Amino acid sequence: MATITSISTGNPGSAGQLMTINGTALSTATRVNFGNKSAPATVVSGTQITCTIPSLCAGQYNINVTAGTSTTNSLPFFYAATPAVAAVAPSTGPASPGTVTVNGSGFLNATAVTFGAVGAGTALTVVNDSEITVTAPTHGAFTGCQDTVDVTVATPGGSSTTSVADQFVYYNAPAVTSLSPATGPAGTNVTVTGTCLDTVVDATFTPTAGGAAISADSFTSVSETQLIVVVPAGLTAGTTYDLQVITPGGTSAIVAGDVFTGA
């Protein structure tokens, strides 16, 4: 009597993938049964057959093989649905974003989460079928101020298709190169020149000798290379400050060109 002892490939698996089943007396096998569905069996030898997994609902099945007029014992098989990404949080971040949560479906047995051409994430944790946490890979050299990538999840059921919902935006760090004017009282409009200044969320004046930062009264991004900052009240006349800008890509580094003197 035919018996099956193991499933060596395709478990877990999904529609269209090849399953390899091992056992004994399998030379007369004609089909593999997945609950109320079946797939034609291809006899490789008396101890091995293959079949193409049919379309099923996600979950576990007890499969058996019809050989001649009899049916073998059953083995457990897990059908993995094709994963889908519905949201990424946060969906923006600096060159080294840290932990990102991916929500969607079909995530059980996930093997990788990839951030476009940047690469695969690390520390992948499957929370449940609809949630994964992963450490996003660090972005290399930027060709611009932002890089939008698709976050895809790979499982035995395949890889998620891309959509607007799976996008993550890497932001290059801003930089300040010069200020004009470089001194003035509260209310002065300062033109900040630098790079990646179009997504500024704050601009601060920090005493060069140390102390608490003071946020600008207001700021307006003119372009990626220019920002208008209004000097706040509270600066001390004659004291020098580093004028730094903050974006989703981080905080501009302190440089000689960012020094502003209160008046």
Contact 241, 231 (CB under 8 A): no
pLDDT digits (tens, 9 = 90+) for 159-203: 999 999 999 999 999 999 999 999 999 999 999 999 999 999 999
Alpha helix stretches (DSSP H) within 110-243: none
**According to the model, what pLDDT value does residue 57 have?**
86
Dist CA 41 CA 44 (whole Å): 9
Task: Indicate the SS3 state at residue 137.
Answer: coil
pLDDT digits (tens, 9 = 90+) for 78-97: 998 889 999 999 999 999 99
Q: Domains of the chain (ranges plus CATH)?
A: 3-79 (2.60.40.10), 84-171 (2.60.40.10), 175-262 (2.70.50.70)
Task: Indicate the SS3 state at residue 49.
Answer: strand
Residue written as token pair 């997945």: 34
Please name which of 153, 147, 146, 151 lies closest in space to residue 129, comparing C-alpha atoms. 153
Average pLDDT over residues 12-20: 91
Dist CA 193 CA 197 (whole Å): 8
**For residue 39, what are the β-bridge partners?**
32
pTM above 0.85, yes or no: no
